[in-house]
A and B are shown apart, each in its own frame.
Chain A
Amino acid sequence: MYRIVKKRALTSNIKMFEIEAPAVATKARPGNFVILRLHEKGERIPITLSDADPEGGTISIIFAEVGKSSAQLGALEEGDRVLNLAGPLGNPARIEKYGRVLGVGGGVFVGAFLYQIRALKEAGNRITAVVGARSPEHLILVDEVRAAADETYIATDDGEVGQAGLWFLEGLLQERRFDHVFTLGPTSMQRDVSEMTGPLGIPTTVNLFPIMVDGMGMCGACRVTVGGETKFACVDGPDFDGHRVDFEELISRMRVYNPQEKLAMVLYDKVM
C-alpha cells in the first residue's frame, strides 16, 4: 500500500498528489510514468510522473478527474492509500544539452512538463516554455513554469488569457531558431505542434499516452505506428519522434472504450 502524503487541488478537477514510494522515487526520471490501482476491482491507471523526491521518498502525480477511476482517485485524502503503484515505467526522456529548446505543455500534463523543463534547464538548455489549456480556469503551475523556464508564453483555446490557441507558434518558430522542441499534452496538441515543426525540420519529441493495461510490454494495447513500424509506447516510448507518429490512428485508438467509460461514470455518479 502506498500512502498519500500530500493532496492539493490545482483547479476544480485537477489534483496533485504526493505519494510515498521510496524505491520508485529513487529511480524516477522525467518522462517516466507509474501505474496505480486503487482497489481489488480497479483498473490499472497509467499516470506520467510530475516529480520525484528521492530524499523524501515520494513521487508526485497530477491528474484530472475525467472518469470513474480518476474520480475515485481524486476522492482520496491525505493519509489514504492506493493499493498498487508500479514504476518508474517507460523510458525516461532524453535529457541533454540541445541549445535552444521550445517546450509546449498542455492541460493536466503541465506537471510532467515542468519536471522535464527543470531537468533540461539543469542540462544547460535555454528554454522557451508554452503552457496551454482549454480556458484560463484550467491553467496549472504557470508560476512554477515561469520560474523554471527562460521565457514563458501562455495560451488558451479561447484566447481569454495569453495567446489564442497555438497558432502564434508558427511565427515564433520562424523568428527564433530552436534546436529542439518537446511536447507533453493532449494528443491533438502534440500533433499540431509536430505538424508545425515538421516542415521546418526542427527535431520534435512527443510524449504519448495511448491506452495501456500492464504498461510493461505485455499487452500491446499501446501500440503506435511510428515511421511505418509498430511500437509499444510503454517499453519503446513513451517519447517518440513527433514527425513520424501516425496521430490519426493513435487518436482513434484512444477512443475505443469511450462508451464503457461513460457507462462506468454514470453508474459511479449514481452511487455517489
Chain B
Amino acid sequence: MAARAPQVKMPKQPAEERIHNFEEVARGYTEQLAIEEALRCLTCPNPQCLKGCPVDIDIPAFIALIKEKRFDEAIKKIKEKNALPAICGRVCPQESQCQKFCVLGIRGDPVAIGRLERFVADWELEKGVEAPPSPAPKGGRVAVVGAGPAGLTAAAELARLGHRVEIFEALHTAGGVLMYGIPQFRLPKEIVQAEVDYVGKLGVAMHLDSMVGRIHTISDLFDLGFDAAFIGSGAGLPQFLHLPGENLNGIYSANEFLIRTNLMKAYRFPEYDTPINVGNVVAVIGGGNVAMDSARSALRLGASEVYIVYRRGMEELPARVEEVENAEEEGVRFMFLTNPIRFIGDEHNRVTQIECIRMELGEPDESGRRRPIPVEGSEFKMDVDTVVVAIGQSPNPIIQRTTPGLETTRWNTIVVDEETGRTSIEGVYAGGDIVSGAATVISAMGAGKRAAVAIHEHIMGKKR
C-alpha cells in the first residue's frame, strides 16, 4: 500500500504577527485544502471515528460529501446532530475523540475531522444560514438555565423535537464560556454569536440578564408554566490557591482576566469601558487550557514576559498539545515543577513577587499522574507585575443554594442519572460542567443532548 499523504496543514497567522492582535490564529482550510484533506478519508466500511463523537455526528458521511464538493449537504449532515459546528470544529479536542480512533492514525496522521467540520460550518456562515423547517409542535414548554454549550445544545435539540424552549442566561450575552472564557484568537465571538443566532432561528427564545436562582428559582419556573427545566449553569466559580497575599492587587483569577478580555473586550480599552491591568511580567499559575488562554491573552495585551508556572512537568500538562505548541511559538515561557507558596506586595498592596518552591515528581496519585512533592530548601522569588490564577473552576453555587431538594455532591456538582441527566427533582435535568465539574465544550454538549431526549420522553409520557 502506498504511503498515505500527511494531514493537510491549516494556515496560521505567524507567531510574531499574531501576538500583537486578537485575530484568529488558525485561518481555516480553503475549499481546495478541505477537499484535499477529505480525500484522505478511507471511508472505512466500519468507521471507528464514530466511537469518539459525543454527539454522534455521521463523520464519514459528511466527509464523503466534502470530497464531492457538496458542502451544503455536508453541513446539513453535521447539523442533524450538532447545532454548533463552527464552535466544535475549533475547540473540540478531536485528538482525544473522533481523530483518536481514525484508522489512518495508526500509521500516520488521522483525518483532520475537526478542521473539516470547521470548514463546512464557516462555509455555511459565510453564505448565510438557513433554519430547517419547523417541526410539528409537541406542546411541551422547557426552561433551559444557562446559554453555554450544554444549554444551547439541549435547547436546540428540544426545539427540533417540537417543544417551546426558553433559555435563561445570567450574563448580558449568550454563549457562556464560549463568550466569556475562550479568547477571540481561538474562537471569534462573531462565530459564537452566529451559532447562538442559529439556535434562535430554531425557535428558541432567549432571556438575557436573567440569573436563575435570583430572578426566578427553579420552582418558580414550574409556576410560570414550564413542564421541565434543564440546568446547564456551568463551572463559573474560580478556584484560588489560598496562599498568603492572594488578595493583593494585580492577582486575577483566570476567570476575571478572561472575562475582562473576552466578554468585556478590555483589550480595546478605552474604546470599550472595561479596563485591565497587565504590566510587563505576567505569571500564570496552572497548566490547563485556561492557563494557556490566559498566558496568550497576556502577551497580546502587551506583556513582555509571560510565564506558565506549573507544579508538574511538561508531560503532565492538562492543556491540549496544540494549545501548548501555540503558546510556545508565541514566546510563553514554561516554569515546570514550580509551585507558588506566597505572594509578596508593596506598600500599595500591589503584588511584586511570587515566592515559589521547586517540586519533584513522586508516586502517582488518584488522578494517575505523578504527585508533585516540594524540594526542601529550594524556595526562590520571582518578580512579577501581574499574576493569573488558572487552577480550575468549580460549579456556580447559586442554583444549588436556592433549590431545596436538589441533590448535590460534596464538590457542589448536581447529582444526575448519567444516561438521562435526571436530577433528584422530577422534571429537572442537568448537564455539562455543573454536573461533571470543569470539562470540555463537547462533553457538555453531549450531556445537553442526552438530557434533551430524556426531557422529550418525560414530557410526551406526561401528555399521554
Contact = CB atoms under 8 A, between A and B. Distances in A.
Interface of A: 23-24, 27, 37, 41-44, 68-69, 83-89, 213-214, 216-221, 223-225, 230, 235, 248-249, 252-253, 256-257, 260-261, 263-264, 267
Interface residues of B, number: 42
Nearest to A23: B215
A223 B209 contact: no
A24 B396 CA distance: 21
B237 A27 contact: no
A214 B349 CA distance: 23
B215 to A, nearest CB: 5
17 contacts: A27-B214, A41-B272, A42-B273, A84-B172, A86-B209, A86-B215, A87-B215, A89-B214, A218-B237, A218-B238, A218-B396, A220-B255, A249-B349, A252-B348, A256-B249, A260-B270, A264-B269
A86 B247 contact: no
Given A216-B398, A219-B255, A253 B249 contact: yes
Question: Which label, helix, strand, loop or mixed, suits the secondary structure of the B interface?
Answer: loop
A27 B214 CA distance: 8
Contacts of B255: 218-220
Interface of B: 170-172, 180, 208-211, 214-216, 236-238, 240, 242, 246-247, 249-250, 252-253, 255-256, 259-260, 264-265, 268-275, 277, 348-349, 396-398
Contacts of A37: 172
A218 B214 contact: no
Given A213-B259, A220-B238, 20 more contacts: A41-B268, A41-B272, A43-B273, A44-B264, A68-B273, A69-B273, A88-B214, A89-B214, A213-B256, A213-B260, A214-B170, A214-B259, A216-B396, A218-B236, A220-B240, A220-B253, A221-B252, A249-B247, A253-B247, A260-B269
Contacts of B171: 86, 214, 216
A256 B256 CA distance: 14
Q: Which of A37, A88, A263 has the most CB of B within 10 A?
A: A37
Contacts of B348: 252
Contacts of A87: 209, 214-215
A95 B170 CA distance: 26
B259 A219 contact: yes
Nearest to B271: A41
Contacts of B272: 41, 43
A158 B240 CA distance: 43
Nearest to A24: B215
B274 A43 contact: yes
A199 B139 CA distance: 64
Contacts of B269: 260, 264
B270 A27 contact: no
Contacts of B216: 23, 27
A267 B260 CA distance: 20
A217 B275 contact: no
Contacts of B215: 23-24, 27, 86-88
Nearest to B396: A217
Nearest to A212: B256
Contacts of B180: 214, 218
A148 B88 CA distance: 57
Output the residue of A218, A224, A248, A263 with the most chain B CB within 10 A. Answer: A218
Given A220-B240, A252-B249, A253-B249, A86 B273 contact: no
